[in-house]
Amino acid sequence: MSHPYVDLPPSAFWRTAVAEVDRNCFPGLYEPRLTLVPATGVATAGSCFAQHIGHRLRISGCNVLDAEPVPAAMNETVAQAFGYALFSSRTGNIYTTRQLRQFLTDINEGYVDARFVWAKGPAFIDALRPTVEPEGLSSPKDVLLHRTYHLERTARMLRNADLFVFTLGLTECWEDRPTGRVFPICPGVVGGLFDPHVHAFRNLRYLDVLQDLEAIRELLHRFNPAMQMLLTVSPVPLTATVSGDHVMTATTASKAILRAAADEFVKTTPGTDYFPSFEIITQPASGGPWFEANMRRVSAAGVDKVMGIFLSAHGIMADPPPAPKTVGAPETASEADEIVCDEILLDEFSR
């Protein structure tokens, strides 16, 4: 008897793809559609988890582009505090597709909107990347000069990018009502003043995310028409939600929307691919748990596992990913500690 399941590959069956395979490697889980070779110019952006991807690609010898490289006289600690070497430009975390879309629009148009400067004590910060200058700058004019430089440098970098890796983090964001501009973090948390008449909570829906992704691709192609896009969904749960739902339910809804939109986008768009970092970290079949004791931060072993599978699939690293650790086990030289996560700033308000 013949039916559609007869000729399916082992990766299509749970038993042969999950239950009975070496789950350290998950053969067939990720079969790249895009080419990544050492010469490929890679640009990275996204949420906290994207920092791991950029870092590991860099140390694996990939050509990770950097619009604003760390100046020679700046040490690693200072560089990290000021947002250097975390992504391919000093964007800070880009959590939502809407934020990335608006950022790329600004770069394309060379548009520097003077309205989005926040006061922080006696200093001023860029509302569109509020954590890259921890002490702020001395005037709004200085903030705008730095943003102009940032946009111009990023434009130059994107013209050399062959592959844009974006990690989708959140659907929840705060929007400036008059302009529709979204911020990476709620006004008032690290700077600026929250005004309920001006600032609105927005939880992006499936169609919002999908349309953003389509717009992002179009914007990226203005820099390089051949640029390819690789999407991942961050496995890091929300620190806090304003949706009214329990934070765990809100996390699931948010990640489901991002995952579904990414799936639709990749399935219908040439030159794109999806890497299942979310699945590797959150699926019980993957072992783990791959989180630290707070069940939010991805452990160094979890990052090793994700990036091991990714790099192996691209033939960049032959070593298999590590076996899981027991929950709460102390990390040795935890790379996860070095990740800069703005969203964690919200955690302060839960105490």
Among positions 149, 159, 193, 256, the unique one binding other proteins when judged by CB under 8 A: 149
Q: State which of residues 16, 113, 140, 153 lies at the interface with other proteins (CB under 8 A).
A: 153
Q: Does 152 bind other proteins (CB under 8 A)?
A: yes
Q: Which residue has the tokens 């929250």?
A: 194
* CA 101 vs CA 46, 95, 98, 230, 331: distances in Å: 12, 11, 5, 15, 36
Integer Cα distance of 252 and 54 in angstroms: 25
- Site residues for other proteins, 155-184, by CB under 8 A, read 156
Residue the block writes with tokens 């999407």: 231
Q: Is the peptide bond before 289 cis (omega within 30 degrees of 0)?
A: yes
| Inter-axis angle of helices 206-223 and 97-109, nearest 10 | 30
Under rule CB under 8 A, residue 82 binds other proteins: yes
Residues 276-305 that bind other proteins (CB under 8 A): none
Taking contact as CB under 8 A, which single stretch among the options 78-86, 193-201, 204-212, 263-271 is the one that binds other proteins?
Answer: 78-86
Residue ranges in 114-143 that form contacts with other proteins under rule CB under 8 A: 133-138, 142
Retrieve residue 186's tokens.
């709620």
| Residue 111 Cβ vs other proteins, minimum distance, rounded to whole Å | 15
> What Cα–Cα distance (Å) separates residue 266 from each residue in 28, 114, 277, 311?
18, 35, 15, 20
* Residue 136 vs 184, nearer CB to other proteins: 136
Q: Which of 64, 68, 127, 170 binds other proteins (CB under 8 A)?
A: 68
**Residues in a beta bridge with 124:** 119, 137
* CA separation for the pair 90, 291 (Å, rounded): 27
Q: Among 71, 196, 270, 284, which residue sits at the site for other proteins (rule: CB under 8 A)?
A: 71
| Contact stretch for other proteins (CB under 8 A) within 25-33, 147-155, 170-178, 341-349 | 147-155
Q: Is 109 in the site for other proteins (CB under 8 A)?
A: no
Torsional class of 64: left (φ above 0), alpha (ψ -120 to 50), beta (otherwise)? beta
Report how far residue 227's alpha carbon sits from residue 163's, in angstroms, rounded to the nearest whole number.
5
Least Å from the CB of residue 131 to other proteins: 13
Q: How far is the CB of 271 from other proteins (least distance, A)?
A: 28
3-class secondary-structure state, position 250: helix
Residues touching other proteins, count (CB under 8 A)? 25
Site residues (vs other proteins, CB under 8 A): 68-69, 71-75, 77-78, 81-82, 133-138, 142, 145-146, 148-149, 152-153, 156
